[in-house]
């Protein structure tokens, strides 16, 4: 088996087997006010994503010393973020403790995998470091918030990881492929393929772990890649990031707190209107594929085109998001719940 193929096969198989073992152990997610399920369902299957990726990482050939250092830092931060998520899955940690821990992990990862200090003009290292950490922190919370419908997280993150693998050179690109393979292994249990619902939830261990991995790889590429990369990274995760930020903005506009647990994300409104989890996953997967295609297109255009491509994608998504909210209100669905 070639050196490039072995990590991908290992990532898929380790993720598949680990998630299957977690399913048998039966760590249950009991429904609450924010849940989209009514029956207790096993969770923590995202541990497979993390272990699959970390095992694959040992077999990825790394030539450049700075790539080795960045990937080592990414592995460490992934373990910390996934460990934080796993403890929260088991014990339900305080929000303040999670905020502090995730902030420290984001700062550490931004320093080791980045930071991005070029936005068309040179930024001071401190500004780039804090901005990169904010990206990690925001993406981790975004994926965690959006991981509430079967198959949605993997449907959105697999295209993002595959696009990053196409764009990023060397070990970074191969690591992104390994992430996609690990996500696919977990999706066998989580995606609503053969039934209306998946069998296993990711849990915070998977959402935080996968988000930190993707954020770290994106920073590795953006900090050493072409000038367009800083605009293409948010495009890869726009369907997730856009729903969270636009929902928060809508809640603030309506006089509701954006930080209180709610069920007013666009994907939750679609489910409340009768859309199946499979349909929601297909919608977010399709949007992620389109965003990936736009990123590949923008990467081949002059650098000045990248921010405009991102802006157009943001505007189109904002229109879709607003339309879904209007449809929900017309159907009698509470959009501030």
Show binding-site residues for Mg(2+): 144, 204
Q: What's 151's DSSP letter?
A: T
CA-to-CA separations, 189 to 132, 150, 199, 201, in angstroms, rounded: 33, 10, 6, 8
DSSP for 98-144 reads HHHHHHHHHHHHHHHH----BSSSBPPHHHHHHHHHHHHHHHHHHHH
Give the burial class of 122: count Cβ atoms within 10 A of its Cβ; 0-12 exposed, 13-18 middle, 19 or more buried. exposed
The number of residues making up the chain comes to: 337
Decide: 266 and 284 in contact? Cβ < 8 Å: no
| Nearest 10 degrees: Cα torsion 226, 231, 234, 235 | -100
Alpha-carbon distance 92 to 47, whole Å? 17
Name the H helices within 30-124.
47-58, 65-91, 95-113
Q: Tell me the sheet residues that pair with 41.
A: 29
Which residues are known binding-site members? 144, 204
Q: What is the DSSP string of 259-310?
A: TS--S-SHHHHHHHTT--HHHHHHHHHHHHHHHHHHHHHHHTS-TTHHHHHH
User: Residue 60, SS3?
Assistant: coil
H or E stretch including 207?
A: helix 203-224
Assess contact for 232 and 292: CB atoms under 8 A.
Answer: no
Structural contact between residues 173 and 7, judged by C-beta atoms closer than 8 angstroms: no
């Amino acid at each position: 088996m070639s050196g490039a193929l072995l990590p991908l096969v290992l990532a898929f198989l380790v993720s598949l087997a680990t998630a299957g073992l977690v399913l048998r152990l039966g760590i249950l997610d009991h429904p609450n006010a924010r849940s989209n399920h009514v029956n207790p369902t096993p969770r923590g299957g995202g541990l497979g994503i993390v272990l699959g990726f970390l095992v694959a990482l040992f077999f990825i050939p790394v030539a450049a010393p700075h790539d080795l250092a960045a990937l080592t830092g990414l592995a460490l931060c992934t373990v910390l973020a996934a460990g934080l998520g796993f403890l929260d899955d088991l014990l339900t940690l305080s929000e303040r403790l999670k905020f502090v821990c995730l902030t420290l992990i984001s700062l550490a990862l931004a320093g080791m995998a980045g930071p991005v200090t070029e936005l068309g003009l040179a930024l001071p290292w401190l500004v780039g470091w804090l901005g990169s950490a904010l990206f990690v922190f925001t993406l981790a919370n975004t994926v965690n918030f959006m991981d509430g419908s079967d198959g949605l997280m993997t449907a959105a993150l697999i295209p993002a990881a595959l696009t990053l693998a196409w764009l990023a050179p060397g070990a970074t690109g191969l690591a992104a492929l390994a992430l996609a393979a690990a996500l696919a292994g977990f999706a066998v249990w989580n995606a609503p393929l053969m039934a209306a619902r998946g069998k296993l939830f990711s849990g915070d261990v998977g959402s935080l772990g996968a988000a930190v991995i993707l954020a770290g790889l994106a920073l590795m590429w953006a900090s050493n890649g072409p000038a367009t990369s800083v605009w293409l990274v948010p495009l890869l995760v726009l369907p997730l990031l856009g729903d969270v930020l636009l929902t928060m903005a809508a809640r603030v506009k309506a006089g509701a707190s954006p930080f209180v647990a709610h069920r007013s994300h666009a994907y939750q409104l679609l489910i409340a209107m009768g859309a199946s989890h499979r349909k929601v996953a297909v919608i977010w997967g399709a949007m992620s594929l389109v965003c990936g295609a736009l990123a590949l297109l923008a990467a081949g255009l002059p650098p000045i085109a990248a921010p405009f491509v991102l802006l157009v994608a943001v505007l189109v998504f904002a229109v879709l998001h607003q339309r879904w909210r209007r449809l929900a209100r017309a159907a009698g669905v509470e959009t501030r719940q």
